Chains A and B, each alone.
Chain A
Amino acid sequence: MDSAKTQEILESAEFKKLVKTRWNISLSFTFVMLFVYIGFLLVIAYNKDFLKMPLGDSVNLAIVVGLGIIFFSWLITGLYVYWANNYYDSDVHEIKKKL
C-alpha cells in the first residue's frame, strides 16, 4: 500500500470522525460503568441502611440493585456491540473501500 494513500485516509475528515466517535462512545460507556459500580460501593460504605429498604416480604433494595448491576453490565455491553456492528463497522467498510 502506498504511503500517500495512507496519509490521505489518515487525514480525511471521515477517518478522523470515525476515531473520535469510537472513543467518545467507549469512554462515555466506561465512565457510566465506573460510575455505577463505584457509586454502588460508596453507597454501601456510607449508607447501608438505605440498601436495607424492604421491597416486598423478603426482597430488599440491596438484592435488586446488586442483581441489577449484573443486568446493566449485560445491557451496556450489548449496546456497545449493537452500535459497533451497525454503525462503526459500516463506516469502517466505507473507508476500507478506498484502500
Chain B
Amino acid sequence: MSLNLLLQISPSGPASTLGTANPVSIAIFFLFVAVTLYITYWAAKKTKTGSEFYAAGRNISGFQNGLALAGDYMSAASFLGIAGMVATKGYDGLIYSIGFLVGWPLIMFLVAEPLRNLGKYTFADVVAFRLKQRPIRIAASVGSLLTISFYLIAQMVGAGSLIKTLFGLNYEIAVVVVGVVMTMYVLFGGMLATTWVQIIKAVLLLSGATILVLLALSKFNFSPAELFMSVKTQYGSDMLAPGGFITNPLDALSLGLALMLGTAGLPHILMRFYTVPDDKAARKSVFVATGFIGYFYILTFFIGFAALALVGKDAIISLDKGGNMAALLLAENTGGSAFLGFIASVAFATILAVVAGLTLSGASTISHDLYVHVIKKGVSDEKGEMKVAKRATIFLGILAVTLGLLFKGQNVAFMVGLAFSIAASANFPALLMSIIWKGFTTKGAVYCMVTGAVLSLVLIVISPTVWVDILGNAEAIFPLKNPTIVSMTSAFIVGIIVSLAKPEKEAADLFESEKLRTYLGHGSEK
C-alpha cells in the first residue's frame, strides 16, 4: 500500500463499536475467568501451608516467575495508558515507559538475590532480619499497605471505567465482578493460583500486543520507518521527539527516581522472589521479566504511533481525553470487531491479575508482618496465621470494591505516581540499607520508613498534582509534581543520621554472621 493511500484513510471512518456489548469480548472474558477459576480449584488442593499460600511452595521456576513478574507489572494502565500517551503526546510516552523499565536492572543488581536468601514471605522479613522485629514490622507494614492501597484504588477505578467503555457494563457491576473474582483467586488458590493467572495474562497480553503491532505494521510494508514517516507527514516531526513532558529538570529527575527506584520497593513485586527455589532462579526471573517488559514497552510505543497514523488523533481524543482507548481503536481499525473484542478482554484480564497480586501481598503484610510478628510476637502456629491471612484477603477484597465505588469519577491518575513515590521513599531505602549497610539500626530503619511515607503523602498533597489540579488552588506550596527526590533523599539521610547517632551492636554483629546466608544462600528458606 502506498503512503499516499494511507494518508487518505479517514480518521472518522465507520463509527466504533466501543461501548456496546461485544460477543467475542464477552466470550473470551468468560473463557478466561472459567480457565483461571479452574486453575484456582487445582491450586487450592496444593495450598495448605503458609509457604504454599504465600510463596507457592517455592516451586515456581525462574522462567515462570519472570513471566509472572512481567504479568504483575504490566498493568492495564501501562498497556492502555502508555499507548494512549504516545498516541496523543507522541514521543513523551516513551520517556515514561523507559522509567518503568530501568528499575528492573536495579532490582537485579541490588535486591533480588539477598531478598531471596534472607526473607521468607515479605520484604519486611529482610529489613527485620537483624533488627528488632516489632517496630520494623509496624513501620514496614505502613509503607506496604499505603503503596498497595493507592495502587489498588487506581486499578479498581480504572477497571470500572474501562469496563464501562469496553462492554457498556455498569461501573458498579464491573467493580464488584473484579473484586469477587480476584478474591476467589487469592483466597482459595493463594500464590500458586495468582502466579498462573499472571502467567496466562502475560502471555495473552504479550501475544495480543504483538499481533496488534504486526497487523498495524502490515499497512506500512512492515517498515517502522514508513510508520514514522506517516506520523511525521500528518502531525509534523515534533511528534517524534521529546515535547512538553519534561521542562523542569528537577521535576523530571524526581519522577524518574520514583519510577526507577519505586519498582524496587513494590511489595507485590518483591514478594514474587520467594516463589522460586533459590537465588539463582531469582536472578533468572529478573532477566526474563526485564526482557518481556522491555519488549512490551517497545510494542506500546509502536501501538501508540500506529493508532496516531491510522486512527487519527481527533478520533482518539473524542473518545477519551487521555487517549486511553488508542490501542483498542487501533485493534478495531486493523482487525475488526472480533479482534477488538480479544484485546478488550485481555485488558480486563490484565486488571484482574494485577489486583489479585496486590491483594495477596496486602494479605501477607497483615497476617505475616502484623499478626504474627507484632500481635503474636513471632510465636504463632501455621493454622492461626493462615486463618488470619484468609480473613485479611476477604477484608482487602471488600476494601478494594468499596474504594473502587467511593472513588468513582475521581481523578486517581496521580495515585499510581504516589504509590511509586511511597515505594521509592519508604520501602526501598530501608530495604537497601538493611542489605548493604552494617551500621543500620532499628531506630534508623523506623525513622527512615516513616520519613519516606509521611513526606511522600504530605508533599504530594501540597504539590501541583493535588493542590492545584484536584483541590483547585491557584498555586502549589511545593513546586514539584512528584515528591520523590525530596522524600527519598530525606529518608536515606534520616536513616543514616539516626543510625550513626546511636549504634546498635547486636544488629551489627548479626550483619556479619548473616553473611553466609546473604551471599551463599546458606540456611535460606527452602
Contacts and interface: CB of A to CB of B under 8 A. Distances in A.
Given A41-B253, A46-B249, A52-B237, A59 B109 contact: no
Interface string B90-107: 010011001101101110
Measured as residues with beta carbon below 8 angstroms from the partner, the interface class of chain B is: 35 or more
Nearest to B521: A92
Interface residues of A, number: 54
B277 to A, nearest CB: 14
Given A73-B104, A77-B290, A62 B241 contact: yes
B188 interface: no
B99 A63 contact: no
Contacts of A77: 104-105, 108, 286-287, 290
Interface in B482-503: none
A80 B94 CA distance: 25
Nearest to B522: A99
Given A10-B512, A58-B229, A45 B249 contact: yes
A45 B252 CA distance: 8
Contacts, number: 148
A64 to B, nearest CB: 11
B370 to A, nearest CB: 32
Contacts of B520: 92, 95-96, 99
B102 A51 contact: no
A9 B225 CA distance: 58
Interface string A44-73: 111010011010111110110011011101
Question: For the complex, would chain B's binding face be called helix, strand, loop or mixed by DSSP majority?
Answer: helix
B228 A63 contact: yes
A58 B105 contact: no
A73 B240 contact: no
A56, A76, A81: which has the most chain B beta carbons within 10 Å?
A: A81
Interface in A22-48: 22-23, 25-27, 29-30, 33-34, 36-38, 40-42, 44-46, 48
Contact of A10 (B98, B225, B513): B513
13 contacts: A9-B516, A26-B110, A37-B99, A37-B256, A45-B249, A45-B252, A58-B240, A59-B228, A60-B237, A73-B104, A77-B290, A81-B108, A96-B520
Given A19-B519, A36-B102, A41-B95, 12 more contacts: A10-B516, A25-B109, A33-B105, A44-B246, A51-B241, A54-B237, A59-B224, A69-B102, A70-B101, A70-B297, A77-B290, A81-B284
Interface of A: 6, 9-10, 15, 18-19, 22-23, 25-27, 29-30, 33-34, 36-38, 40-42, 44-46, 48, 51-52, 54, 56-60, 62-63, 66-67, 69-71, 73-74, 76-78, 80-81, 84-85, 89, 92, 95-96, 99
